Amino acid sequence: MRRIAIDMDEVIADFNLKHLQVFNRDYNENLTLNDLMGTHLRDLRPQLKNEIIAYLNDPTFFRDLDVMKDSQEVIQELSEQFEVFITTAAMYFPTSFTAKYEWLKEHFSFLDEMNFVFCGNKSIINADYLIDDNEEHFQRFKGQGILFTAPHNIHETGYVRVNNWLEVRDYFLK
């Protein structure tokens, strides 16, 4: 079976929605996804960079993220024809391990937890495909990188791109 490695944040977990919610609440702002096009929240408000990153060190931050639309159904389908791994660079936020694990067990219970890969540098990942919103992970990846559209990457070119999970389904199952 061919292997598909799938990132978590901004691919199956709606990271931006919560990050914007807590930031807007605490700083009385009304930023939306449109404000994040081609950038990151930390670059949009550089004077608050430390505070913006600090949210992610909260051990509960990643526990209640929304599931990205259609990701459960499509990954369930893919897992019948491919070996599916969830590969998250959780080492960026080591305090997130438990929340990310529990989140995967809640929302992707049909996957074998032995296929959950919490890593740092994704060049160690040995798979045929990597679906990720961060193109930096494709640089040394030996398989096919598939860029999942996120606000920060909308200007990136030169990658196979999918805009949502229905397009992932088309890419693999059509």
Which residue ranges make up the site for Mg ion (CB under 5 A)? Answer: 7, 9-10, 133
**What DSSP string runs through 45-67?**
SGGGHHHHHHGGGSTTGGGGPEE
For Mg ion, give the closer residue by CB, 29 or 63.
63
Q: Are 6 and 76 in contact (CB under 8 A)?
A: no
Cα gap 43→116, rounded to integer Å: 30
Question: To the nearest whole angstrom, how small is the minimum distance from the Cβ of residue 158 to Mg ion?
Answer: 19
Question: To the nearest whole angstrom, how small is the minimum distance from the Cβ of residue 28 to Mg ion?
Answer: 28
112 is catalytic: no
For Mg ion, give the closer residue by CB, 7 or 165.
7
64 is catalytic: no
Q: Strand, helix or coil at 173?
A: helix
For Mg ion, give the closer residue by CB, 78 or 122.
122
Nearest to 4 by CA among 75, 110, 108: 75
Question: To the nearest whole angstrom, how small is the minimum distance from the Cβ of residue 169 to Mg ion?
Answer: 19
Beta bridge partners of 129: 4, 144
Q: Which residues are catalytic?
A: 7, 9
